[in-house]
Amino acid sequence: MVETKKIAIVVSEGTFDKGMMSMMIANTAASMGMEVHIFHTFFGLNLLKKSKSPKLAGMFRLFTGSFVKKMKKIGVDNYSEQMKMALDLGVNIYACNTTLALLGVKKEDMYDGVKILGAAGFLDIAVDADSTMFIG
Q: What is the pLDDT of residues 5-37, one digit of tens each?
A: 999 999 999 999 999 999 999 999 999 999 999
C-alpha–C-alpha distance, residues 81 and 84, integer Å: 5
Domain ranges for the chain: 6-135
DSSP three-state, residue 72: helix
CA of 17: how far to CAs of 31, 34, 51, 54, 130, in Å? Answer: 21, 23, 18, 8, 24
Q: Name beta bridge partners: 10.
A: 39, 134
Average pLDDT over residues 102-125: 96
Share of residues in the chain with pLDDT > 90 (%): 94
Report the pLDDT averaged over residues 91-116.
96
What span, in angstroms and rounded, lies between the C-alpha atoms of 49 and 15? 12
- Is the pLDDT confidence value at 52 over 90? no
CATH class for the domain made up of 6-135: alpha beta
pTM: 0.93
- The pLDDT value given to residue 51: 87
